[in-house]
Every structure is written in C-alpha cells, then in structure tokens.
Structure 1
Amino acid sequence: MENVNQVNQGNVGGRSHQSVNIDNKRKVVNIDNNNGWNSWNTIWDYQTGFMATRIMSKKSCVVVKMNKAVIPDITTLPQAIREKQQDPTKGPARKDIAYTVSPKRITNLSPYGKNIEALCKGIPSYAAYEVKRPSFPFYGGDCIEANILWIVGISLCGEAYGY
C-alpha cells in the first residue's frame, strides 16, 4: 500500500486536498479529491479494467472502461506521482481523456467489480464512453474535471443530469 497526499492552495475559491491510495495486492487505486461541494472520489480497478468516479455535487457515479494508454500502470504510478510532486515539469507528460456520459442509468453494478459496486451503491450510476478530443471543443454540455495529481486529466461530460 502506498499513499500520496497533495494540498493545492492555488485554486480559485480556496484549498483542495487530494490523496491517492495504491493497493498493489488488490490492484486498486483510490483517489479522493476533497474540495468542498466539488469533491469527488475515483476508483481505478486494474483487475476489472474499469474505473468509476463518485461526484459529490451530482450525487451520482460514472463508470468507464480504463484506457491503458492514458491511465498509468499501477506499478509506475507511485514514481510518476513522486516526480510530479518534486517538479511538475519532470516525469511523464500529463495525459487527458474525455468521456461522454450516457443518460441511461446502470441498474446492475456487479459486472464492474466489488470495488466499484461499493463506491457507487445506492446512488444513480451511469456509463460513459470515451470521445476524441479534436471534436470535443464543439460540445455544448457541462463537464466535470477529475484531474489526478498532474498526471491524468479526466473530463466527464454530458447534457443529461447536468454532466
């Protein structure tokens, strides 16, 4: 198990705190972003190949298929985070990925694994699908940004339910 904490005082509106917990044995990463009403929690489940983000302000959960070309391998993640914490210009370049959220609710979370099921249980949950960035600027819906310690930028966007 490894834990990484980051306090960001440069955000408009105050402070945010992000912690990353890495469980190499279970192959699960848990990222908590505590920023008041804009807080979120993400699980990366390397065994199932899915990740989910629980968005506090939306009182909902979004489940996506992990893109292994964008999401760092669990074995290299701790070192990448350390390098970025020491000097944001060093280490791997930040990768961005965007998803569009389906308006259709997920009725059964069990296919996504017990970790995601536990994170999303009891709240409306939706699947999201990767979209290509070049066409994305023309999108008119709202987006939630889940940026993981300068390494990965995830955008969850959609018109349904305010995404």
Structure 2
Amino acid sequence: MKTVILAVVLVELLVNSALASNAIQLINKGNDGGTVYQTVNINHNVNVAAFNTYFGTHSTNAVVDYNAGLIVYQMPYKRICVVSRMNRSSFPSISQLENMIHEENPSLHALHTNYGVSNKVVRNLYQLGKPIQAMCGGLTTYWATEYPRPDSLVGGRGCAGLHLLILDVKLCGGITFF
C-alpha cells in the first residue's frame, strides 16, 4: 500500500509543477451513494494529464503522456497497471482535453475506449518515461491494445470498467480483474 501511495504522490508532483498547470476537482455521488472525489491535473510543460478517482479501495488513476504517446491506467486495488499506445487520430489533444473537462457537463463528451489486455508484462518501465515509471513502479504492468468494440476481443476472462471523469474505459481479456 505504501508503494501505491508513493506512486500517486510522485505522479502528482511530476504533473503539478507550478507553471502551466491546470487542476480540476469534482465531488460526486457514486453508484452506491458514497462520495467520489475526482481530480484532473493537466501540465502543458511536460504534456501530461493525470486523472485520479478516489473512492475507497477501488480508487483508480490514469496518466496520458502526450510526448511518449502512451496512456496508463492504474488499479492499485489489483496492484496492476495497464499501458497502451495512444491512438492520436481518436484521442483529443491536450488542449482539446482541457476544453472538454471545462465544459459544464463534461460527461456529455466522454471518451469511450476499449482495450484488450495481453498477458505480456512490461519488464522495463524506464523505457516508458518518468510519469509511467512513477505510477507503475512496484506494480505488475501489462500491455494493452485499443479496440473499437469490446466484443471484438477474443479469449477474454473478464473486463474492468474505469470511469475517470471524461475517460470511460473498458479493459478486457488476458488477465483476471476479479
């Protein structure tokens, strides 16, 4: 647990430098009636956006590293990270992302993305850059590939749905999430 907290703190420090940063905080009610805290931190200096959803033991995080063209989803409750290459033709630029978040109802333009998670473990986090190193250090990290629909995945043993403000993600197949 200390590793997960340290990883979140490191990502927050990396993303939240004093210059060219934009932080958004929301407090919502979860499906079970509990309180869900969501934050998005966008740093134009390093071209990184960090999404955090805090709801007890099932808190999740995501980092979009525009320089590296990678997206990482962290599920600390399962002690895993999932990394995928960013589909730049369908994923908004950092400025477009920021505009979407500032809309009155950001969920109207949610980004629905589906990934097939492989059994392939990332062995060298250093090659993926500092934001992903900070977030996934000490956690098992898997590669994933974006798919247009979750039903195009073959051999999946289950899916995990993550909702991070405007990111509505399904991670399916390859590894057991439950």
Regarding TM over 0.5, the answer is yes
| Cα pair distance change 1:154/1:74, threshold 3 Å | same
Please report how far the alpha carbon of residue 69 of structure 1 lies from its aligned counterpart in structure 2 after TM superposition.
Answer: 3.4
Q: Please point out which of 27, 42, 45 is paired with 1:22.
A: 42
**What amino acid maps onto 2:42 in structure 1?**
I
Match of 1:146 in 2: 162
Of residues 33-42 and 133-142 in structure 1, the stretch that sits farther from structure 2 once superposed is: 133-142
- Between the aligned partners of 2:106 and 2:73, the Cα distance in structure 1 is 24
User: C-alpha deviations, 1:56-104, integer Å up to 9, x for none?
Assistant: 2211111111122333211122221111xx23576xx323110011112
The TM-score, its normalising length taken from structure 1, stands at 0.85
| CA contact 1:103–1:161 (8 Å) conserved in 2 | no
* Aligned pairs, number: 158
2:86 pairs with 1:66:
yes
- Between the aligned partners of 1:17 and 1:2, the Cα distance in structure 2 is 17
Q: Which runs of at least 4 in structure 1 moved beyond 4 Å after TM superposition? A: 136-140
2:119 pairs with 1:119:
no
Match of 2:76 in 1: 56
Please report how far the alpha carbon of residue 37 of structure 1 lies from its aligned counterpart in structure 2 after TM superposition.
Answer: 1.4
Match of 1:157 in 2: 172
Please, what is the CA RMSD of the aligned residues? 2.2
Note the 1:79-158 alignment, pairs <5 A.
79-83=99-103, 86-87=104-105, 93-133=109-149, 135-136=151-152, 141-149=157-165, 151-158=166-173
